[in-house]
Structure 1
Amino acid sequence: MSSDPLIPRKASSEAESHEADRRDLSQVTARQIFALALPALGVLAAMPLYLLLDTAVVGRLGGFELAALGAAVTIQSQVTTQLTFLSYGTTARSSRLFGAGDRRGAIAEGVQATWVAVFVGTGIALTMIIFAPWFTLWLSGNREVADAAAEWLRAAALAVPLVLIIMAGNGWLRGIQNTRLPLYFTLAGVVPGAILIPVMVNRYGLVGSAYANVIAEGITAALFLLALAKYHKGPWRPRWSIIRRQLSLGRDLIMRSLSFQVAFLSAAAVAARFGTASLAAHQVMLQLWNFITLVLDSLAIAAQTLTGAALGAGSAQLARKVGNRVIIYSMVFAGGLGLFFAALYQVIPRIFTRDEVVLEAIADPWWVMIVMIILGGVVFAIDGVLLGASDAVFLRNASILAVLLGFLPGVWISYLLDGGLTGVWLGLLAFIAIRLFAVVWRFSSMRWARAGATVS
């Protein structure tokens, strides 16, 4: 429990309410888990759906504008994806304090994460504004497309600090076991942003899409800041000792995220070498897998929040109990998803394509994806537990080893032996399988709880 004299005491009624939360933790149920997971799923799904609408609206302008948008969004998303540590790292630290009975400290963690968002986000935004033409030309290889993409990227750069503030806000609110407010705040920004996309694009062209994005992110970020102002009662100045620890945790999570990018970018590159049909089939399956990971990630967020709180309460046994229950629920849920995709194996692919050659390319790797879904139910849940314990170094190492020892050898062997798209997805399965063995061993060893005990 934090003894920071800068954080004032709260009313006894709030303390009593929090004590009730801690007692309920030992009786964690499916209802409690899904009460955290479902709003988190809404937050995770909102932006991909928004981007689909954005793409559809810009696509009406023509192929040139769509290509420019694709180049610009790819650069922006690659940057912001690597900075999700502001959500996951803040949740880990905040939930620990919350479980220890220090709700004020848990919220104060959000203040420091918000400072990180402002500093890092401003630096990235300036970099994007200055170097946008070089970035977009490198990616697109076409000067005209690059110039249009650079204009979009420079306008959208203003949203980068806002996106990171939103990530920090998600982190501390998840840490105090509130996933509903982030959903409300996200919808409050996404809905008007979605309405503005056609209006702004019609008036300003491609760059209007970026303006709508900035407005949407600005509304959501403002709501997170208002919530922080309402709940935080201590000082607002940066505390560099806490910021350094947040950045240290973030370094490991960024390296873990980069290993995922290597795996999936390599998969797309090899799939393309097997022909247009294989690449199209891979794109369909990859979009489905991305949706599935959003669903399983929502359960992992619940696992992270509850595990961090249990460790904060000082009980490794309680943390293991919470972990076991979340893993079981996630396995059941993943099994249900696997059965759903198995039963509709002839229906779902036809929603995305009617090309018989592409459908034939999907047929065999489809069953590999189903195995990945089932294994992923365990992997994602334990990932959440380990993130809740701030065991980021192990997760980083396990992910990198899974890429180096599982995915890359598997996928390139498939290429050399002409294994087709099935071989590519077997490489991804090897990536998941190695991670499965690693996280199951780690969870069983309880070393994650000891590692978590050293985090302050």
Structure 2
Amino acid sequence: MSTTGAPGIDDRSTRRLLSLAVSAFVVLAAEPLYLLVDTAVVGHLGSTPLAGLGIGAALMALLTIVGTFVEYGTTSRAARWFGAGRREAAVNEGVQASWLALGIGVLVVAVGEAVAGPLTRLLAGGGGATQAAAESWFRIAVIGMPGVLLVLAGNGWMRGVQRTREPVRIVLIANALSALASPLLVYPAGLGLAGSALANVVAQGVGGALFLRALHRAAGGLRPDRAIMRAQVLVGRDLILRAAAFQVAFLSAAAVASRMGTAQIAAHQIGLQLWEFTALLLDSFAIAAQSLVGAALGGADAAGARRMALQVSRWGLYAGIAFGALYAAGWWLVPRAFSSAPAVLHQAHLLWPWFVGMLPLSGIVFALDGVLIGAGDIAFLRTITIVAAVFAFAPLNVAALHWHWGIGGVWAGLTAFIVVRFVGMLWRARGDRWVVLGTGGSCD
């Protein structure tokens, strides 16, 4: 019995897709939910520690970009081996990704400690109490980067072999530990802001250790293989460039909005936080697609890969339409949950049509992003993302500032960023170049 009306897409494949998507969503949502708890805990220390946490957390998020490939790249490579019936080779991708995670994590710690002062001064606009708070938090928190990257690598290989429950359990344990430890270390232990950073490091270490234990049980050994690691790094180069293009686009939008006025940047922050929350669900379908499309191509099932691409795109579209309808209905109420200032609410209403209008296309874009990552078509994704950022978003963003188009102009640029990626990825998905069968999985 078909659940989508497409031939060959049955209840079992739909259940598998939804199972992977739900697992990915829980893992993706755990970190933002913890950050909300940590923000609430630190917020009671005063505005300066809270500002320091904001700057330090932004730096940590920026550094985590380097770990993108140990998660997404590992999923696509492991999924191909898994689809080909080579489970031991799939798990070995996790072994090598974990070695890379450890090595890169140690390097990031060293670099982070060396540049903590200059980076926090840059973001804080100079020295002072806020910069000192940010630097003290960051110097402790960055020690947890090896654990962060091990968690990313663990999620990557487990998704590749379609183990959905264990990553959820590990991530929930680690984040629950951090959520419990943070208030205890901040207040009864008297560590203040440093207690928040220490809670992060402990939780990240526990999460990384749990993923390593699961990996050792599955692999039976943890011997490094330089050839496999080298191949993973080549995939990682394009994934990092793609992630950097995203960061440049969204950071530039925030910079332009801040120059328009306090109400504009406040409204932009409301829209951006809602967008990032919505992206969690949409990205969960993309992660499911990485695993299932990679497995189909690894098993030399081109038709199955195409059917899965169609199915996940439909689910992404449905989710995008549903969120768009909810936000459209809540255009008056939702912004008021974040601010009561009339000027901020006015600016939020100006960006709202763009925010709502981009969601259906975003659902498809996220889905196809996962399809092409699963297919190993990373170079194309890198290129289309950079093209969309440089030739669609950037001109509109600059024009919005120069010609005083307001916050609506900024969000028109973000919408154009989505539209260009949608057109390019749809064209790519309709072709044959991404359908590379076997365990190689790279597209030129």
**TM bin (shorter chain):** over 0.9
State yes or no: 1:426 paired with 2:417: no
State the shift of 1:91 in Å: 0.1
Within 2, Cα distance between the matches of 1:153 and 1:348? 33
Distance 1:167 1:418, change over 3 A: same
Give the alignment's Cα RMSD to 1 decimal.
1.7
Aligned pairs for 1:180-259 within 5 A: 180-202=165-187, 203-233=190-220, 235-259=221-245
SS in 2 for 1:110: helix
Aligned pairs for 1:115-130 within 5 A: 115-130=99-114
Aligned partners of 2:249 and 2:393 also within 8 Å: yes
Aligned to 1:372: 358
Aligned match of 1:326 in 289, 312, 315? Answer: 312
Aligned to 2:390: 404
Aligned to 2:77: 93
Query: When the two structures are superposed, what TM-score results if normalisation uses the length of structure 1?
Result: 0.91
Within 1, Cα distance between the matches of 2:405 and 2:214? 53
Within 2, Cα distance between the matches of 1:25 and 1:308? 17
Aligned partners of 2:9 and 2:307 also within 8 Å: no
Aligned match of 1:166 in 151, 160, 167? Answer: 151
Residues 275-299 of structure 1: per-residue CA shift (max 9 Å, x gap) = 1111111110000000111110001
State the shift of 1:453 in Å: 6.6
State the shift of 1:144 in Å: 3.9
Within 2, Cα distance between the matches of 1:115 and 1:388? 22
126-135 vs 90-99, greater mean Cα deviation: 126-135
Within 2, Cα distance between the matches of 1:54 and 1:266? 27
Residue identity in the other structure for 1:293:
A
Unpaired stretches in structure 1, ≥5 consecutive residues:
1-23
SS in 2 for 1:84: helix
Within 2, Cα distance between the matches of 1:154 and 1:177? 36
State yes or no: 1:81 paired with 2:65: yes
Aligned match of 1:136 in 108, 120, 130? Answer: 120
Aligned match of 2:135 in 118, 127, 150? Answer: 150
Residue identity in the other structure for 2:18:
F
State yes or no: 1:111 paired with 2:95: yes
Residues 245-272 of structure 1: per-residue CA shift (max 9 Å, x gap) = 1011011000001111111111111112
Aligned partners of 2:80 and 2:438 also within 8 Å: no
Query: When the two structures are superposed, what TM-score results if normalisation uses the length of structure 2?
Result: 0.94
Distance 1:267 1:129, change over 3 A: same
Residues 345-388 of structure 1: per-residue CA shift (max 9 Å, x gap) = 11111111111221111113211111111101110000000000
State the shift of 1:133 in Å: 2.1
SS in 2 for 1:448: coil
Within 2, Cα distance between the matches of 1:30 and 1:410? 39
SS in 1 for 2:67: coil
Aligned pairs for 1:258-407 within 5 A: 258-407=244-393
**Number of aligned residue pairs:** 432
Aligned partners of 1:85 and 1:249 also within 8 Å: yes
Within 1, Cα distance between the matches of 2:243 and 2:347? 29
Within 2, Cα distance between the matches of 1:277 and 1:251? 38
State the shift of 1:454 in Å: 4.3
Residues 192-232 of structure 1: per-residue CA shift (max 9 Å, x gap) = 21011111111211111111001111221111111111111
Within 2, Cα distance between the matches of 1:410 and 1:77? 26
